[in-house]
Amino acid sequence: MRIFDPHIHMSSRTTDDYERMRAAGVAAVVEPSFWLGQPRTSAATFLDYFDSLLGWEPYRAAQYGIAHHCALALNPKEANDPRCTPVLAELPRYLDKDNVVAVGEVGYDSLTPAEDTALATQLELAARHGLPALVHTPHRDKAAGLERTLAMLAESELAPERVVLDHLNETTVERAADSGCWMAFSVYPDTKMDERRTVAVLRRFGLDRMLVNSAADWGRSDPLKTRRVADAMLDAGFTEDDVDRVLWRNPVAFFAQSGRLDLDGRPQPESYEGNSILRGTPAEPAGR
Ligand SMILES: [Zn+2]
């Protein structure tokens, strides 16, 4: 089974996770930029983070045979912090980099005017750089948040097929399907969608434009949720080809719109700027 997790925050995860993901079939990921769980204090710290998503994290992933791409953006939550918004002026030069396959995650958190501005600006950047956009839908007041998102998308130059609406559930999927955008479901251990509910949505709405992700991060989450959905699909009578479509071909088709998806894995150096993921020299085999 081959799996592409189109939304996972690997910088927050360990090498054990990479190892378990690869063993479960995960061969490719997209890591969208997001907030750190605590506020950033300046725009400059975004640049170190973006550099890490462009260099160090793909290097780490490659050690486990996983192709790593990223989506870059000012996240919805920090769009409200004037210490962070200057990063919007830095984004264009980052969006030109090879490993960037989307602008994201953008969208609404608390539906503020500052979030309007950041979203409109970044949708325009996506259009200008020929990139699709990964759009987060808010966790509170989901229906109103989706309506405002769709209104903003309608005003942008970005075609619906170049947009994925993320963190959908049963209350928002129908409206999202009508919009012509791609639809993504984040499967979490306690909140958002679980495997069973996700499979029920796929049964009802079909597999066209559907994506499934773990959205695993520094919070309680599970980087193997993509595999668990695949298994739940098979248990529910979907075929292996159906699973391959949702967990591989769909995300490949979506991010291939960037023209930058490279699933063979870019060659990685033996060490990254002199550093490796080895902590010290490996122990000598016994008996030498
Ligand atoms: Zn996320």
- 110 or 281: which leads in pLDDT: 110
Flag whether pLDDT at 284 surpasses 70.
Answer: no
Q: What are the pLDDT digits (tens) for 186-231?
A: 999 987 789 999 999 999 999 999 999 999 999 999 999 999 999 9
CA of 203 to the centre of ligand 1 (A): 25
CA terminus-to-terminus distance, the chain: 41
Please tell me the distance between residue 71's alpha carbon and the centre of ligand 1 in angstroms.
Answer: 10
Task: Say whether pLDDT at 286 is over 60.
Answer: no
Interval 29-47: pLDDT, tens:
999 999 999 999 999 999 9
The environment of the single-atom ion ligand 1, i.e. residues with CB closer than 5 A, is 34, 215
Cis amide bond preceding 174, omega within 30? no
* pLDDT score for 247: 98
In a domain, 283, yes or no: no
206 Cα–ligand 1 center, Å: 24
Residue 112's alpha-carbon distances to 79, 92, 103, 235, in angstroms, are 9, 24, 20, 43
- Distance from Cα 33 to the centre of ligand 1, integer Å: 7
Is residue 126 within 8 A of residue 221, CB to CB? The reply is: no
User: Domain with 139 in it: what CATH number?
Assistant: 3.20.20.140
Whether residue 61 is contained in a domain is answered as yes
27's enclosing H/E stretch is strand 26-32
Q: Indicate whether 274 belongs to any domain.
A: no
Query: What is the rounded average pLDDT of the residues 80-103?
Result: 97
CA distances from 208 to 1, 3, 65, 260 (A): 19, 17, 28, 22
pTM of the model: 0.94
In the reported structure, the alpha carbon of residue 214 is separated from the centroid of ligand 1 by a whole-number distance in angstroms of 9
Q: What is the tally of structural domains in the chain?
A: 1
Residue 266 pLDDT: 65
Looking at the DSSP assignment, which residues form a beta bridge with residue 136?
Answer: 107, 166
The rounded distance, in Å, linking the Cα atoms of 205 and 126 is 28
Q: What is residue 187's three-state secondary structure?
A: strand
Q: In the predicted model, is pLDDT for residue 287 greater than 60?
A: no
Question: Domain of 228?
Answer: 3-256
- How remote is the CA of residue 97 from the centroid of ligand 1, in Å? 21
278 lies in some domain: no
Ligand 1 center–CA 282 separation, angstroms = 35
Give domain status of residue 176, yes or no: yes
Tell me the CA–centroid distance for residue 166 and ligand 1, in Å.
Answer: 9
Confidence of residue 288 (pLDDT cuts 50, 70, 90): very low
Note whether residue 121 is domain-resident: yes
- Coil, helix or strand for 82? coil
